[in-house]
């Protein structure tokens, strides 16, 4: 049992073969053009290598949430144009994902050429993992490659269902690199520091539960910290708290304690009277009535930064405060800089966390920036990703 890599696949040759590549080309669009092409860039190496090896490459992806219907603004057509620019080669486009139209387009496709299919989620069968849709997709190709790490935690037709129809399957370079880097969090050099923040405990409860006993130190920031503080009887004013998660938060603390781990909560806060960029901000040790916590305070940021310096492995998901507003960005900035400076192997995942890292200009100081938020959280919890399991042969 094992998962073949692209190297393994290319070693056996793919010239003239039809290779179906499930990529993650789910990019933000603005005014009908690609607004941020980082996901496309991350997908290029696999596509380039297959083209260079003379494969006839069929690329498929989802974009947004069209929920099984054709939504004109969620067409992948603008992505084909941008992809062609990045590759410096033509990219054919097909309005349909299954049936006669793509079949004819693939017949025309020369060795080393690329065809992009329309948004997979225009078909209800994609997210439902419908066997007939999966079979129709599989009928287009001889070989299957999954490079869509960001959707590897979903058992959809293009990530799971269709793979059963292939003898030759492989993980693309992006998927493979993600798994290798994230494996380091599962089997860390200790001490392992996990920094979790962001908006809600409920979004990340399973990762809290899994990592509290696993991480040597679990440092909590962002709005989720207030649910922990409130659950322990602390003052949280008007901060975002989830009373229905108090028990869960206390259980997470208990699990950390029972395993001999440390769980850290903020000891000071940046608060304001309203959730607005120009609201006057002040630092407090205890959140007063009528105020809401919008960032960890400077003392907390210093404590977390010191942990980053002592760690040998760091996993970070979720900003420490409302970093989108300058007045509440300092906590995230201090912690990010410390993670960047630390000699530890560092991995950062999550859409907003990555945005924060890029905004602070620290991207090249982090060892691995995970392109898949949900998938990276599921993987570091030790869960099996259906899209990866489907590649086992």
| Contact in structure between 333 and 360 (CB atoms under 8 Å) | yes
Of 153, 187, 162, nearest in space to 60 by CA: 162
Contact stretch for ligand ADP (CB under 6 A) within 40-48, 142-150, 176-184, 320-328: 320-328
The binder of ligand ADP chosen from 95, 96, 130, 203 (CB under 6 A): 203
Stretch that binds ligand ADP, among 120-128, 151-159, 335-343, 345-353 (CB under 6 A): 345-353
Least distance in Å: CB of 35 to Mg ion?
Answer: 17
Active-site choice (18, 113, 200, 262) = 200
- Window 356 to 385, contacts with ligand ADP (CB under 6 A): 373
242 binds ligand ADP (CB under 6 A): no
Is residue 351 flagged as an active site residue? yes
Contact 90, 50 (CB under 8 A): no
Cβ atoms of 5 and 171 within 8 Å: the answer is yes
Residue with smaller CB distance to Mg ion, 254 or 358: 358
User: Alpha-carbon distance 344 to 310, whole Å?
Assistant: 8
Cα(164)–Cα(144) distance, integer angstroms? 10
Residue of the chain from 216, 268, 295, 352 that contacts Mg ion (CB under 5 A): 352
User: Residue 303: CB partners within 8 Å, gap ≥ 6?
Assistant: 219, 264, 267
Tell me which of 342, 352, 372, 391 binds ligand ADP, using CB under 6 A: 352
**Which entry of 351, 361, 382, 393 is annotated as an active-site residue?**
351
Q: Is 222 in the site for ligand ADP (CB under 6 A)?
A: yes
155 vs 199 by CB, closer to ligand ADP: 199
DSSP E strands in the chain: the ranges are 18-22, 29-30, 33-34, 56-60, 91-94, 114-117, 143-146, 169-171, 192-196, 217-220, 262-264, 269-272, 282-284, 292-296, 313-317, 345-349, 368-369
Query: Segment contacting ligand ADP (CB under 6 A): 57-65, 198-206, 209-217, 338-346?
Result: 198-206
| Residue 308 token pair | 């980053």
Q: Rounded distance, CA 322 to CA 343, Å?
A: 27
374 catalytic? Reply is: yes
Q: Per DSSP, what are the bridge partners of residue 258? A: none
User: Under the criterion CB under 6 A, does residue 198 sit at the interface with ligand ADP?
Assistant: yes
Decide whether 136 or 223 has the Cβ nearer to ligand ADP.
223
The region of 58-66, 165-173, 298-306, 347-355 touching Mg ion under the rule CB under 5 A is 347-355
**Which residue shows structure tokens 């269709």?**
162
- Tokens 């200009």 correspond to 361
Which residues form the interface with Mg ion (CB under 5 A)? 351-352
Which residues form the interface with ligand ADP (CB under 6 A)? 197-199, 203, 222-223, 240, 293-294, 317-319, 321-322, 324, 350-353, 373
- Could you list the active site residues? 39, 200, 351, 374
């Amino acid at each position: 049992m094992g998962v073949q890599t692209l190297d393994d696949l290319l070693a056996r040759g793919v010239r003239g073969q039809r290779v179906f590549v499930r990529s993650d080309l789910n990019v933000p669009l603005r005014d009908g053009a690609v607004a941020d092409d980082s996901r496309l860039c991350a997908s290029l190496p696999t596509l380039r290598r297959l083209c260079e090896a003379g494969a006839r490459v069929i690329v498929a992806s989802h974009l947004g949430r069209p929920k099984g219907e054709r939504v004109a603004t969620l067409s992948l057509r603008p992505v084909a144009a941008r992809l062609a620019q990045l590759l410096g080669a033509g990219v054919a486009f097909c309005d349909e994902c299954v049936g006669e139209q793509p079949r004819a387009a693939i017949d025309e496709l020369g060795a080393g050429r690329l065809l992009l299919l329309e948004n997979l989620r225009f078909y209800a069968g994609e997210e439902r993992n419908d066997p007939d849709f999966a079979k129709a997709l599989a009928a287009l190709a001889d070989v299957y490659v999954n490079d869509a790490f960001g959707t590897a935690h979903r058992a959809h037709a293009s990530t799971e269902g269709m793979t059963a129809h292939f003898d030759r399957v492989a993980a693309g370079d992006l998927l493979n690199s993600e798994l290798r880097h994230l494996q380091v969090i599962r089997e860390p050099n200790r001490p392992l520091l996990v920094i979790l923040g962001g908006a809600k405990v409920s979004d990340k409860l399973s990762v809290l539960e899994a990592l509290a006993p696993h991480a040597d130190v679990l440092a909590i920031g962002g709005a989720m910290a207030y649910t922990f503080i409130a659950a322990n009887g602390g003052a949280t004013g008007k901060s975002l708290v989830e009373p229905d998660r108090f028990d869960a938060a206390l259980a997470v603390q208990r699990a950390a304690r029972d395993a001999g781990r440390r769980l850290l909560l903020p000891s000071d806060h940046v608060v304001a009277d309203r959730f607005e960029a120009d609201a006057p901000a002040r630092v407090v040790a205890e959140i007063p009535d009528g105020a809401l916590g919008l960032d960890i305070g400077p003392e907390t940021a210093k404590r977390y930064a010191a942990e980053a310096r002592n760690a040998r492995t760091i996993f970070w998901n979720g900003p420490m405060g409302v970093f989108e507003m300058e007045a509440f960005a300092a906590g995230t900035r201090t912690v990010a800089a410390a993670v960047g400076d630390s000699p530890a192997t560092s991995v950062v995942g999550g859409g907003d966390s990555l945005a924060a890292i890029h905004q602070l200009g620290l991207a090249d100081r982090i060892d691995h920036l995970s392109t898949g938020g949900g998938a990276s959280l599921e993987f570091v919890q030790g869960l099996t990703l259906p899209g990866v399991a489907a590649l086992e042969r």
